[in-house]
Amino acid sequence: MARPNYLNEIKRRILTYESGTVFVAADFADITDKKTASVGLSRLETEGVIRRILRGVYDKPAYNRFLGEFVAPIPDKVAHAIARNFGWTIVPCGDTALNLLGLSTQVPAVWVYVSDGTYKEYLYDNTTIQFKRTTNKEVSKLSYKTALVIQALKALGKDNIDEMVISRLQKKLTAEEKKAMVSEAKAITSWVYEYLKQICRS
């Protein structure tokens, strides 16, 4: 029986990815073990097939024709790849949550996430990603979109949420997400839950 060529299998999958996709060895667990996948990714980086962003984190670089160069990976994609590598559950918070939900056009100086993992900070290409440990109920027991909206509301503060914010969030959520949100978030801070109910009414 021929020995599987794990490197070729990993390479074939990467070639099907969209430009800008960020990945780690754990993403190829169905092909081979993490150690073997790590070696394979390192070889593909040497071959120029992929780009190394951080230790153990790579991307299929996206080329910008207008700029005439490969662009830096999207920080949120890098953050989620790091989280998958460690098996963490993460949720954007503060200015990061506001930016991702379209409630702020300001690009965060530091991309911050609450996590059920340990405190970590990463720097690449003048971008800083920071993970802050929080209680499990803020990340692990909620769907991603519910947790994201909660973090955004907390970032704005009780007295800074108006009809425009509520309207924008209503448009960002599907009917299914709204239904889940009302059900999942009953145990959170009361003022946040009251705003969630307003957001989910339409």
Do 110 and 92 fall within a single domain? Answer: yes
Average pLDDT, the chain: 92
Do 66 and 98 fall within a single domain? Answer: no
CATH code at 22? 1.10.10
Give the single-character DSSP code of 30: T
Do 89 and 189 fall within a single domain? Answer: yes
Torsion of CA 135, 137, 142, 147, to 10 degrees: -50
Do 66 and 79 fall within a single domain? Answer: no
**Model's pTM, two decimal places?**
0.90
Do 158 and 95 fall within a single domain? Answer: yes
Closest CA to 132 of 150, 115, 151, 110: 115
pLDDT digits (tens, 9 = 90+) for 5-56: 899 999 999 999 999 999 999 999 999 999 999 999 999 999 999 999 999 9
Q: Which whole-number Å values give the CA distances from 197 to 10, 110, 146, in the listed order? A: 45, 30, 12
Residues in the chain: 202
What pLDDT was estimated at residue 68? 86
Number of compact structural domains in the chain: 2
Lowest-confidence pick of 61-65, 118-122, 135-139: 135-139
Is residue 109 in a domain? Answer: yes
Do 59 and 155 fall within a single domain? Answer: no
Is residue 53 in a domain? Answer: yes
Is residue 1 in a domain? Answer: no
Residue 2 pLDDT > 80, yes or no? no
pLDDT: is 66 or 93 the higher one? Answer: 93
- How much of the chain, in percent, has pLDDT values that exceed 90? 80
Angle at 141 between CA 138 and CA 147, to 5 degrees: 50
Is residue 155 in a domain? Answer: yes
Q: Which domain holds residue 193?
A: 75-199
